[in-house]
Each structure stands twice: as structure tokens, then as C-alpha cells.
Copies of this chain bind each other. A is one copy, B any other.
Amino acid sequence: MTRYQHLAALLEQRIEQGLYRSGERLPSVRALSSEHGVSISTVQQAYNLLETRRLIMPQPRSGYFVAPRKAAPPIPALTRPVQRPVEITQWESVLELFNSCLDNSAFNFGGGTPDVNQSSVKPLWKLMSRFCQRQDERVLNYGNMYGASELREQVARLALDSGCQLTGDDIVITTGCQEALFVAVRAICESGDIVAVESPTFPGTLQLLRGLGIKVIEIPTCPISGISLDALKLALEQWPIKAVLLVPTCNNPLGFCMPDKYKQSLVMLAQQFDLAIIEDDAYGELVYDYPRPRTVKSFDDDGRVLLCSSFSKTIAPGLRVGWVAPGRYLERVLHMKYISTGYTVTHTQLAVAEFIAQGHYQPHLRRMRMQYKANLDVFTCHVREYFPCGICVSRPQGGFLMWIELPEHFDSLRLNREVKKAGIQIAAGSLFSAAGKYRNCIRLNYALPFTQETAQGLRLVGEAVAKMFNEHGADDCCVESPVGPGQNQVS
């Protein structure tokens, strides 16, 4: 941490502790300089940083003041989706999102892309380049349908961190986590089957199930502790559910980590109802507080959990390197992998295996976790500043995705159209529900380093929201409320 960052952290702490109060004038640059024995420019840099984070405000010719603070918005409440199997819709909205992403001018808060530009990823470039310079023949040939053995061994080693005892032979490499989920579902389900999911759920999963003719039952999900096991049990008693598919660690889009004991209970429930569990752990390594939580798979003693993951969120999505540890479904998963894409691209598999083997992966992960956590703080400050009151905001425990719940009748699809005019992309909440619920919610991506442009983009979104609020007279809900479960039920 540099001097100015250190000073900024100290000042922030004083503001948080109430030593400098909202609206109060802060010490002059000169005073701080002599108090802390640092240069004028160091103090100025510290103040600039705090200003970027909207904790303080400059007043021309008067110095800096503590910014007036709004209360932290509450966390969304337990979700309440429809409690019966439904057909999945929303493909058109997904397609619209993708097509508008094709416009490179868009400032993209909507996608699930990580930051791939940090220096800790640079060794990967070298490794990829080296395989080409050496003209490693494996890069051009089919390789092994299970995936490169070097990579499978590294994946098995990494899985130890989440409490899984795996070997390379337990793992099939896939074209990203999407293919891992696809072959996992195909290994278990047929058209007409019912699968239980968290609510809200990642659109890639919903569309996958839709494409396979599978119905989903969305289970109420707590934005802090994950899927409601009581609600799941009720659903299992009522419907012939084949599998439960979930993102229990650093959930997309809610950001929660399901507590270990709940994960264990989930496995017991699955055993009781003879259910398969498909666990999407794509964001699991990006948890802010290390060591990382255990996977559901780590509690599995009879091979019923299919653990799916990838390096798309942790290193880079363009590599298309994912994997599945399918337990007892290994052969069937292999069949499904063979028929869907045959083989996975070899070059990036070998490069990732070497990136891990050479010890670059863990430092890279540490860096990205720190960055995303820091981004979350800044991002939350700006959301608090720019968005009107009456919203609920998730408290992600990892990853780089934020879920914002707006009042019940808010139309995020319309918001999407509004902000798109300014070249901004958001993800409308309705994509995250089989039946198009959560239209009053949005998901924002905060992976990239926070810049003036980010602030500008967020301000525009916030203003568009406020404008739509005003039209409906919904801006009178700006009350200071303690942090806690929100009162706005997702209906």
C-alpha cells in the first residue's frame, strides 16, 4: 500500500467512525501534510482517491467536506418465485442482450466478463506464445477426449482447496463452464423432466434447460444464505424433480455463499430423494475471504454431485476452458461431451495447465479477489450516491456481480432501452427467471477498475432509474433504514 493509499484508508476510517461527520469540513491539505509528515501532493492524492469514492466533496476555495451520506440500501429479501414447474421463456431478451453487446461502443455493465487486463495474467500470454513458437504438435491434433491430462491433474489439485478429493481421472475438460453444465444436465435429464434451481438463476442455465425441453421449478432463495432447503424439500415432496442445479458459492447473480452446513444438508436431502446435484462453481475461487468455502461436492459420498466449473471467470473467458467432475455419471457425461463438441481446444488447456503448474494462478487469484472486493466498495458508494432511495442491493461475498432490486412495478427492460441510447448495457432481471420475474431488478458487473467513465455510466443509469421513479411517484421512499433484509418483496 502506497503512502497516499494509507492516508486515504486512515481518513476513511475516521469518517466511518464518525470522527469527521457528514457535511463537516476536513483538515486542510497543509495541516494534514504536517500532521502526518507527508508531502502536499501525497495528501492531495489521498483526497482525490476519497473524492473518487464519493466519501468527500471539494468546495471551491473552501477545501474538502465529508459527503452527505445516504444509508446503505437494504439487502433484497428472500425471493418468492412461482412454486410450480414452468416452461422457460426470455430467449428473445437474451438474444437482444447479446446483439446489443456486439456494439463495441457500449459501456457494458450487463455481461459476466471478468477483468482480463491485469499484469498477473501476463505469464499466460507468454505460455500461449511459447507453445506456438515451439510448434507443439499437440496444439493442432485432436488430443484426448477427456481433456489434456496435465490440466486434469492441476484441476484435481485445485479442488483440494474446496475439500474435494479428486484425481485427474475424475475430471472431463469442457468448452467453458457452459458445456460442463450442458453435458451434466444431458447426462441426467431428458425432455419433460423437472429441475429445481435457485431463484434468480443465471440465464445461460435457464436457456440451457429450455433448449433441452426441461421444466424448472424456481425455489425461494435467500440473498445471504442461498436456496431455501425447506422450500426445496416441499417441492421435492410435491414434484418428480430429477436434479437440483445451483451456484452455491459466490452465486450469480446474488453473490451469496451458502454456509457449509446448508451444503451438507443439501446433500442429505438429495440422498433422501435420490436426486442429482449439479453444482456450478464458476465464481467459487473468487470469494473475498480466503480460504475459499467448501463445495457441495466435498460433502458428496455417493457420486451424486456433478461439479462444474471453468477458468472463464478466474482467468479469461476467451480461453473456453471449463471442467466437470461428474461422479457416478462419468461415462454418460463423456458420451454427451463427445456428441456435442467432440474435443476441447488443446492450446489453451495446455497453457492454463502450465500457468497453474508454474505457480502463477494463486497470486493471480489473490490479486483479482482484492481488486473485485475493492471495486465492490467503490461501486456500492456510487450506487448509493446516484440511485434513488427505495432500492435493495445485494452484498456479494465474492465475484464481480451486483444485484439491485427496484420497487415492484419497475420495468428494467424499459430501463435497458433507455440507457442503451447512451451506449450503456445492463442485464435486466427478467433474464434470470424462467417465467420472466424480477423485471424490477438489474444485475451490474463491477469487474473492471473504477474510472471516471464507470462513474459517468453509473450516474446515467441512476438518473434513468430516478426519472422512471418520478414518473410513477416512487421517489418518496428515501428513508434512512438500517442495513438488513429489504421490505420490497420480489413478487
Question: Using a CB–CB distance below 8 Å, which chain A residues touch chain B?
Answer: 91, 94-95, 98, 102, 111, 113, 116-117, 121-122, 125-126, 128-129, 132-133, 135, 137-145, 174-176, 178-179, 182, 186, 190-191, 204, 207-208, 210-213, 315-320, 331, 334-336, 338-348
Q: Are A339 and B208 in contact (CB under 8 A)?
A: yes
A102 touches B339 (CB 8 A): no
Q: Name 16 A/B residue pairs within 8 A (Cβ), A-sorted.
A: A91-B335, A98-B338, A102-B144, A121-B140, A125-B132, A129-B129, A129-B133, A142-B317, A143-B318, A174-B341, A175-B175, A175-B320, A176-B343, A190-B191, A191-B213, A208-B340
Task: List, in ascending order, chain B residues with CB within 8 A of A98's CB.
Answer: 145, 338
The residue in chain B whose Cβ has the minimal distance to the Cβ of A213 is B190
A47 to B230, CA, bound (A): 83
Q: Tell me the nearest residue of chain B to A104, going by C-beta.
A: B144
Which of A122, A186, A342 is most buried by chain B, counting CB atoms within 10 A of its CB? A342
| Distance in Å: Cβ of A425 to nearest Cβ of chain B | 13
The answer to whether B331 and A346 have CB atoms under 8 Å apart is no
Q: Which residues of B contact A116 (CB under 8 A)?
A: 137, 140-141
A interface, over-half SS: helix
Bound complex: CA A319 to CA B132 (Å): 12
Copies in the complex: 2
Given A132-B129, A318-B139, A318-B345, also A335-B211 (CB < 8 A)? yes
Q: A113-B142, A132-B128, A144-B102 are in contact. Are A182 and B341 (CB under 8 A)?
A: yes
Nearest chain-B residue to A146 (Cβ)?
A: B102
A170 to B232, CA, bound (A): 44
Whether the pair A343, B320 counts as a contact (CB closer than 8 A) is yes
**Is there an interface contact between A338 and B204, defined as CB atoms closer than 8 Å?**
yes
Q: Are B347 and A318 in contact (CB under 8 A)?
A: yes
CA distance in complex: A132, B344 (Å): 19
Pairwise interchain contact A140-B178, C-beta atoms closer than 8 A: no
Partner of A347, one of B102, B174, B347: B347
